[in-house]
Structure 1
Amino acid sequence: MPRIVVLPHEALCPEGEVLDAVSGETVCDVMLANGIDIEHACEKSCACTTCHVIVREGFPSLDEADELEEDMLDKAWGLEPESRLSCQAVVGDEDLVVEVPRYTINMVSERH
Structure 2
Amino acid sequence: MTQIIVLPHEELCPEGAVIEAEPGTSVCDALLQHDIEIEHACEKSCACTTCHVVIREGFNSLEPAEDLEEDMLDKAWGLEPNSRLSCQAIVKATPLVVEIPKYTINMAKEGKH
TM-score calculated relative to the size of structure 2: 0.94
Q: What do you get for the CA RMSD once the two structures are aligned? A: 0.9
Q: Counterpart in 1 of 2:93?
A: 93
Q: Give the distance between the partners of 2:57 and 2:11, measured in 1 at CA.
A: 22
Q: Does 1:35 align with 2:35?
A: yes
Q: Counterpart in 1 of 2:59?
A: 59
Q: Counterpart in 2 of 1:21?
A: 21
What amino acid is the match of 2:16?
G
Q: Give the distance between the partners of 2:69 and 2:78, measured in 1 at CA.
A: 15
Runs of at least 5 residues in structure 1 that lack an aligned partner in the other structure: none
Other structure's SS at 1:20 match: strand
Would you identify which runs of 4 or more consecutive aligned residues in structure 1 move more than 4 Å?
A: none
Q: Give the paired residue count.
A: 109
Q: Give the distance between the partners of 2:106 and 2:92, measured in 1 at CA.
A: 29
Write out per-residue CA displacement over residues 41-79 of structure 1, whole angstroms, 9 at most, x where no aligned residue.
000000000000000000010000000000000000000
What amino acid is the match of 2:106?
N
Runs of at least 5 residues in structure 2 that lack an aligned partner in the other structure: none
Q: Give the distance between the partners of 2:92 and 2:83, measured in 1 at CA.
A: 16
Q: Give the distance between the partners of 1:40 and 1:10, measured in 2 at CA.
A: 18
Give, in angstroms, the shift of residue 106 of structure 1.
1.3
More off after superposition, 100-109 vs 11-20: 100-109
TM-score calculated relative to the size of structure 1: 0.95
Other structure's SS at 1:55 match: strand
